[in-house]
Structure 1
Amino acid sequence: MPEIVNSYTQSMPKVTFIGKKYGDEDRVDGGFGSKWNEWLQNKWFDTLEEAYGGREVSQQLFTDGDAAIGLMRCKEGEPFQYWIGMFAPADAQAPEGYQSVDFDSSEVGICWLQGKEPDIYGKEDRCMARLAEEGFKIGTDDENALWFFERYVLSRFTPNEQGELVLDIGFFLE
């Protein structure tokens, strides 16, 4: 059973998320792993980094700002959105074939979920509950949509001796 091994808040400056948007129709066996494989095979993260000046630029945005992101949007009555991409500087332009979403500066609540694949996926509710227990209120955007993300930090998302890795789950806070 995956365990939340760390939780904290972090400041995120105004950023642009650049990536590709998927929906429930893009799931294979319930998840988006096949899309992640497509990204890695096609080196689409390299294209993003080149578009806004390289990994060093994203590393300077905020702690773990250079991580690959699975960004999600939920709103009752609207289709679920799952984006794969990266956070970039606010003035970054999406290269051809990519889309972008702008986010104002904000506080984000982060949980580190440690466990084995595929058990670590789909545990956002547990992370949301943990942040609420710690007194944080999850925010929504101007359209009352909930945005949250998986953050794949390579130094943590690498299996340890027990085959466990850490997936960051982040929520924008009020």
Structure 2
Amino acid sequence: MEIVKVYKESFPAVKLVGKRYTNADRDEMGTFAYHWQQAYREGWFEKLRQCKSIPGVSEDDLGVMRVTDSGSTFAYWIGVFLAPDADVPDGFMSVEIPAGEVGVCWLRGNAQNGELYSAGASDLCVEAMAQKGWGFSQDGWFFERYHCSRFTKPDEKGNVILDICAYLA
């Protein structure tokens, strides 16, 4: 696993639309893999892509996390970022996230062995952002962005790039 690139992006205000989970929804391995499988099996992303999008922002599937209340409340969302005035389809939830600067870390690794989804992978990226002097928002949002071409087209070694992102202070 290796960091390929670390940079900032300016995000507009977005509406996160998807399904929300808590620690109680984790599987025996501590992941949300079953819920991702369900999302693809039931065509959630196809439904969400029919909603009002933001060009350059709404194209990618997301795993979005937030810890609030001094670390006592954890939420994990599977969904997409849509326009703030997008309608929310039946069966989905939403939350609005204001515009902000986002730290982005491209992490190259094997999607099949789980290394990209580990706490160590996130910690590696957070440390790379911190080394640039970037602080993180209090009760801020972190997300895994499964970029269409970087994540879906493995290189000659079978590795892909997962974007690990965090709203900055």
TM-score w.r.t. length of structure 2: 0.90
Q: Could you tell me how far apart the structure 1 residues matched to 2:40 and 2:86 are?
A: 22
C-alpha deviation, 1:91, in angstroms: 0.8
Q: Could you tell me how far apart the structure 2 residues matched to 1:147 and 1:27 are?
A: 19
* 2:100 pairs with 1:100: no
Q: Could you tell me how far apart the structure 2 residues matched to 1:149 and 1:69 are?
A: 7
Flag as ranges the 4+ runs of structure 1 deviating above 4 A: none
Q: Which residue of 1 aligns with 2:82?
A: 88
Q: Could you tell me how far apart the structure 2 residues matched to 1:107 and 1:85 are?
A: 20
Q: Which residue of 1 aligns with 2:158?
A: 163
RMSD, aligned α-carbons = 1.4
User: How many aligned positions are there?
Assistant: 162
Q: Could you tell me how far apart the structure 1 residues matched to 2:32 and 2:156 are?
A: 26
Q: Could you tell me how far apart the structure 1 residues matched to 2:149 and 2:102 are?
A: 20
1:39-62 CA distance string (max 9 Å, x none): 01100111111132xxxx33x1x4
Q: Which residue of 1 aligns with 2:137?
A: 139
Q: Could you tell me how far apart the structure 2 residues matched to 1:147 and 1:116 are?
A: 25
* 2:127 pairs with 1:129: yes
TM-score w.r.t. length of structure 1: 0.87
Q: Could you tell me how far apart the structure 1 residues matched to 2:162 and 2:9 are?
A: 16
Unaligned ranges ≥5, structure 1: none
Unaligned ranges ≥5, structure 2: none
Q: 1:113 to 1:101 in 2, by over 3 A?
A: same
Aligned partners of 2:14 and 2:98 also within 8 Å: yes
Aligned partners of 1:128 and 1:138 also within 8 Å: no
1:96-154 CA distance string (max 9 Å, x none): 111111111111000001111211112212111111111211112xxxx2310000012
Q: Which residue of 2 aligns with 1:34?
A: 34
Q: Which residue of 1 aligns with 2:115?
A: 119
SS at match of 2:73: coil
In percent, how many aligned pairs have the same letter? 39
